[in-house]
Amino acid sequence: EFILLGFPGCWKIQIFLFSLFLVIYVLTLLGNGAIIYAVRCNPLLHTPMYFLLANLSFIDVCVASSATPKMMADFLVQHKTISFDAHLAQIFFVHLFTGSEMVLLVSMAYDRYVAICKPPHYMTIMSCCVCVVLVLISWFVGFIHTTSQLAFTLICHFVVLIR
């Protein structure tokens, strides 16, 4: 396991940082959840742009939830550790979600390009199937990205330091 040092002995700073990150985390969840709920429940928002936006909000929730809860929990305990397997899982999910987010942002840029430059053909180019394929491609590229990053991490030799 890895020992995380953080701010040893500064309990007030740790409580302040926990409170700050808790507020930011809850606002992130509420804001993105509201976007997903609004897109899902309002039939006027069932368009390619909002479909991609709702998927971006979902990925943002996943990014925020991949490392933040562990970090906040570590602010509240004396012995801050993370196992090697948990660390690898955290790396996997952070890279998966951020890689997917990058490709989804490119897809959203393509959607806006089609809407601006080819408005008469927008609904035929950006059909429901195309939007689903763009989201699936973003998850696939994120998975390939994280697999390659994790492969490099696993072949590295780690030096064990004993105090």
pLDDT digit string (tens) for 112-121? 999 999 999 9
82: which strand partners? 2
- Residue 162 confidence (pLDDT): 54
- Cα(5)–Cα(72) distance, rounded to whole angstroms? 14
Could you tell me which of 88, 82, 100, 93 has the C-alpha nearest to residue 155? 88
Q: What is the mean predicted confidence (pLDDT) over 111-140?
A: 95
The pLDDT tens digits of the residues spanning 22-73 come to 999 999 999 999 999 999 999 999 999 999 999 999 999 999 999 899 888 8
Residue 6 — pLDDT band, cuts 50, 70, 90?
Answer: low
- Give the pTM: 0.85
